[in-house]
Chain A
Amino acid sequence: MSQVVLRNLAVGYGGHPVLNNVNIQLMKGRFTCILGPNGSGKTTLLKTLAHLLPALGGVVEIDGRDLTQFTSAQLAREMSVVLTERVQLENTTCFEVAAMGRAPHTGFFGVLTNEDKKFVLDCLEKCSALYLKDKLFHQISEGEKQKVLIARGLAQDPHVFILDEPTSHLDIKYKLEVLSTLKKLCTQEGKTVVCTLHEPELAAKCSDYLILVRDGEIPRWGPTQELVEGGEISQLYGLKPNQLDLHIGSVEFCASCQKDFFLIGSDARSVSLMRTLANQGVGVGAGVLHENDFLCRMVRSMGGQVVTVPSYTPIDCAKQQEALDLALEYRCIALADFPDCEITRGNLELAQKLRQLGREVFPADLSRVETALAKDGK
């Protein structure tokens, strides 16, 4: 069920539209992430949604009612917002900051009742920030500040929770903490959460819906799984087609496109071996790998060529030949240390054939490979 509907919305600053013709829905009790490159208009869209910027055209409806028909006090009880603005406050405890969120619910002088206080403490606890309540806001870390500001937004007891880049400037621990708090708000409390994120790999893992923003339009929006399958997200940021693998949520640095090093099969150390070599500017390729091998996705993300067979199937002759042809184009070849069994035997035969053709096949050991590459380079 959709809670917020954006219909033919145009957003922008000072009469200049940044995004036109936005038609999307935010589902009740779901976590929606807005993704897009810097300057694409994500924040502008979010601010229009939060009624901090006037819409340049079209409407935003909450539960079927036009945003502009709410009084500001009504709207404050309907939605709350966490912004990226740095807040500088001295002499104020984190409890007091979180308690500011009660403002739309308290009386003329903003006196907190005991229920209000309990509610604020609950909100701090939900954001795992209860331990901060008596600390001074200006003395805690950025990640802790963010948790307190989210607790403040939560204390407003909104139906719709809007956050602008809630994870920026945070280290990985706080990123995960903040996002899991938001997820919990959706699943356990039925809040509709929408936020902009700079980490597509995290968005793919935590969100229910994705909205992609690029070049003044919304090229796609929908359930996260559909968009991940579609592979549009790599393009969104102008990356190489496979560079961002959202199935496993991983992005790799592009390796050199030279054909330097080819690995036959894979073992436990192959991932770090390939990354180390790629970081040294070595162009990599691999085969024959099973589709469910992590190395297979990783080498593709790096832009290397991979010969694959379906998961858990023996390596057939055609694939073996393809890998052989490919391996011959590389300067240095190594054989991973995998057990000999039915589905891997083809790779052992591949190494054998390469040796018969006069190519040296090294063991997949970093120092041996480095020496071989260096000698060959001369």
Chain B
Amino acid sequence: MENQHHINRIALVLILAAVLLAVSSVLAIGIGSVYIPPDKVVEALFSKDAVGSTEYIIVTNMRLTRVIASIFGGGALALSGLLLQILFQNPIADPYVLGISSGARLFVGLVMLGGLTFGFSTTNPWFLFLGSLAGALAVMVIVLLFAMRMHSVVTLLIVGTMLGYLCSAMVNLLVAFSDDNAIADFTRWGMGSFGLMTWSQIQVLVVVCAVIFVLSFLLTKSLNSLMLGESYARTMGVNTRRLRMLMILFSGVLTGVVTAFAGPVAFIGMSVPHICRLLLRTEDARFLVPAVILTGGVFGLVCDLIARTVASPSELAVGTITSFVGVPIVLFLLVKKNKVSV
């Protein structure tokens, strides 16, 4: 923005992130119980000759879904985190930390365990998404009501954690009254994994995320005005009420759609925006939004890859890996924040 040097740095980071995303996708598709070298992966993906070969079947039926799911899942959670951090003016805001993922989980539980289906089939991905969205928005509204009264960074963290516990308790109640098959499905989903999605679910995930990604770009100018606080934004001609509604809606939809199909995944939403700020050295939303989406994709992909390979043949929940990265970042930010203010 201000000087060419900085612009070059930002451009370099964005290009590197995109290249890294492409390369790691190909590698991630290849790595697994059967190793497929990168050239075969590219062939299976793009060449018509490969249709029907063993590689083609493994790539399209098993690996590709997972890679697409982790890229979009990671990008969506990261963008949701960025929006929440700007909305709450709080560096540790994140869909998981604020209990929004837990709210989504509760409502998904109502659908999967409670049979709260209003006549729809539980396998309908749109219905699962809407349930999850309702849960995410419900918790976000409650957190916002608290945030309006209390401005401390730490208090918000406690409110989010408490709401998370409350949702978990309600889920446990549901579990107690459910039949064993449903519980097995729900528990597997509740661990958090990008590997459980069907093609129809992935279609919903990709469509919803793509729409919100594009719409988020349209908010970037207003998001920048919000950096100085809400009053300043208003005096610069921003309709802050509308902006807040859109930010809540966007981050709710993103969290909702990922949680519906992948279960709650911790800390991606918080870590990635901070990694991007560190790399880009800017708060400018016009650069942070694309950077966060790309880096979130890489982050999701790599964490998922580690989760399924490190203890192979058994598999870890992706949330385990993201927590290892995310928790130190939260603690670091809290210590730093306490030094400056509070």
Binding site for B on A (CB under 8 A): 50-52, 71-77, 79-81, 83, 85, 87-93, 95-97, 99-101, 103-104, 106, 108-110, 112, 133-134, 152, 156
A91 with B277: CB separation less than 8 A = yes
Q: Which of B1, B236, B281, B283 contacts A103 (CB 8 A)?
A: B236
How many angstroms from the CA of A76 to the CA of B231 in the assembled complex?
Answer: 12
How many angstroms from the CA of A77 to the CA of B237 in the assembled complex?
Answer: 8
B283 with A72: CB separation less than 8 A = no
Q: With A110-B220, A133-B2 in contact, do A92 and B282 touch (Cβ < 8 Å)?
A: yes
Min CB distance, B60 to chain A, in Å?
38
Binding site for A on B (CB under 8 A): 1-3, 217-218, 220-221, 224-225, 227-229, 231-232, 234-239, 277, 280-284, 286, 340-341
Contacts of A71 in B (CB 8 A): 237
Contacts of B221 in A (CB 8 A): 103, 106, 108-110
Min CB distance, B274 to chain A, in Å?
11
30 residue pairs bridging A and B, Cβ less than 8 Å apart: A51-B234, A72-B234, A73-B237, A75-B237, A79-B235, A80-B235, A83-B229, A87-B228, A87-B232, A89-B227, A91-B277, A91-B282, A92-B227, A92-B283, A92-B284, A96-B2, A96-B284, A97-B228, A99-B1, A99-B2, A100-B224, A100-B225, A100-B228, A100-B232, A101-B236, A103-B237, A106-B221, A109-B286, A110-B224, A152-B228
Min CB distance, A20 to chain B, in Å?
24
Contacts of A156 in B (CB 8 A): 236
Contacts of B282 in A (CB 8 A): 91-92
Contacts of A81 in B (CB 8 A): 231-232, 235
How many angstroms from the CA of A133 to the CA of B238 in the assembled complex?
Answer: 25
Min CB distance, B108 to chain A, in Å?
36
Q: Which of B2, B220, B235, B281 contacts A52 (CB 8 A)?
A: B235
A72 with B238: CB separation less than 8 A = yes
B2 with A95: CB separation less than 8 A = yes
B283 with A90: CB separation less than 8 A = yes
Q: Which of B229, B238, B340 contacts A85 (CB 8 A)?
A: B229
How many angstroms from the CA of A74 to the CA of B1 in the assembled complex?
Answer: 25
B281 with A91: CB separation less than 8 A = yes
How many angstroms from the CA of A133 to the CA of B283 in the assembled complex?
Answer: 16
Min CB distance, B260 to chain A, in Å?
32
Q: Which of B217, B232, B238, B284 contacts A83 (CB 8 A)?
A: B232
